[in-house]
């Protein structure tokens, strides 16, 4: 477990097993120098089973906005307040022990091995805490900040249980679960909606792209701008020499500009 300070009062602090003292004393494991922080502000205890408990001290401490007066169990996603300083408790994924894979035994029964099916839909993170990560969607999943969500994104912008995603034959069904900052499909806020491969899912500032392995995503064609239309017209103009050629080019440029202006007026 670690503490993340969204306002930058302290770098991310990895909790050690045992007592983690919080305060403005130089001996505190998490030393804070902000106003209203006292020497023995509180203690965060982490046991061998990764259970976290907040032990109040001499300072004002809150958990999810509620003052703490007794030992209080904590879980990933809780917002802690040390006077005016806020910190989020975040779970830390532990890397598994590496081992040399053993060759699979050969099956001589004559049966053909069935290859694992490739997921039909995959979410690819393209911004924020999800950038570069992929999430196969093979059944209904809940995406949110809580550690027990099917897709857990430790970001301040995402609600504890932000949205539910369900694969369907037509695409990915998206349902907002009462989030604070909203769920968007291609920039439009929705309570429920359908995504297709190539479209974007946005949870406040965290963006995902929906892809279907093995299928090409539909491209997008943008209308030509007035400038590009004029350049195209000039490039396509027949090459003429002398004053007649210059006049022809000027006429084509003026015509292209007028057409572009009429297009903008109609829009």
Structure confidence by residue, pLDDT tens digits, 54-65: 999 999 999 988
CA dist list (Å): 93 to 24, 101, 157, 174:
29, 22, 20, 27
Q: For the packed helices 242-266 and 226-236, what is the interaxial angle rounded to 10 degrees?
A: 150
CATH number of the domain located at residue range(s) 121-211 in this protein: 2.60.200.20
* DSSP SS3 for 147: coil
Note the pTM of the prediction, 2 decimals.
0.40
Query: What share of the chain has pLDDT > 90, as a percent?
Result: 32
Question: Is pLDDT above 60 for 244?
Answer: no
Cα–Cα distance list, 103 to 48, 100, 106, 115 (Å): 35, 10, 9, 17
Reported as a pLDDT band with limits 50, 70 and 90, residue 121 is confident
Higher per-residue pLDDT: 228 or 82 = 82
Average pLDDT, the chain: 78
Closest CA to 4 of 59, 77, 53: 77
> How is domain 2-90 classified at the CATH fold level?
Tumour Suppressor Smad4 (2.60.200)
Query: 117-121, 133-137, 153-157, 182-186: which has the minimum mean pLDDT?
Result: 117-121
d(CA 48, CA 170): 47
Q: List the beta bridge partners of residue 66.
A: 63
Residues of the chain with CATH 2.60.200.20: 2-90, 121-211
Cα dist from 40 to 10, 28, 69, whole Å: 17, 8, 14
Q: What is the pLDDT of residue 191?
A: 93
Amino acid 106: pLDDT: 58
């Amino acid at each position: 477990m670690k503490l993340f300070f969204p306002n930058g009062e302290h770098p991310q602090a990895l909790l050690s097993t045992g007592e983690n003292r919080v305060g403005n004393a130089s001996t505190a494991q998490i030393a804070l120098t902000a106003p209203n922080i006292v020497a023995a502000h509180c203690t965060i205890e982490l046991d061998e089973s990764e259970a976290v408990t907040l032990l109040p001290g001499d300072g004002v401490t809150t958990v999810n906005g509620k003052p703490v007066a007794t030992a209080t169990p904590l879980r990933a996603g809780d917002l802690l307040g040390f006077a005016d300083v806020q910190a989020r408790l975040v779970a830390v994924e532990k890397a598994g022990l590496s081992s040399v894979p053993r060759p699979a035994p050969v099956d001589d029964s004559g049966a053909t091995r069935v290859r694992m099916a490739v997921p039909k839909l995959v979410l690819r993170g393209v911004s924020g805490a999800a950038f570069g990560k992929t999430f196969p969607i093979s059944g209904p999943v809940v995406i949110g900040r809580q550690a027990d969500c099917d897709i857990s994104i430790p970001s301040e912008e995402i609600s504890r249980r932000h949205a539910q995603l369900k694969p369907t034959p037509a695409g990915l069904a998206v349902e907002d679960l009462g989030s604070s900052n909203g769920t968007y499909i291609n920039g439009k806020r929705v309570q429920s909606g359908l995504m297709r491969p190539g479209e974007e899912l946005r949870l406040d500032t965290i963006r995902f792209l929906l892809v279907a392995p093995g299928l090409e995503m539909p491209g997008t064609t943008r209308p030509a701008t007035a400038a590009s239309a004029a350049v195209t017209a000039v490039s396509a103009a027949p090459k003429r020499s002398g004053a007649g050629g210059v006049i022809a080019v000027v006429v084509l440029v003026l015509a292209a500009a007028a057409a572009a202006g009429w297009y903008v007026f109609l829009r």
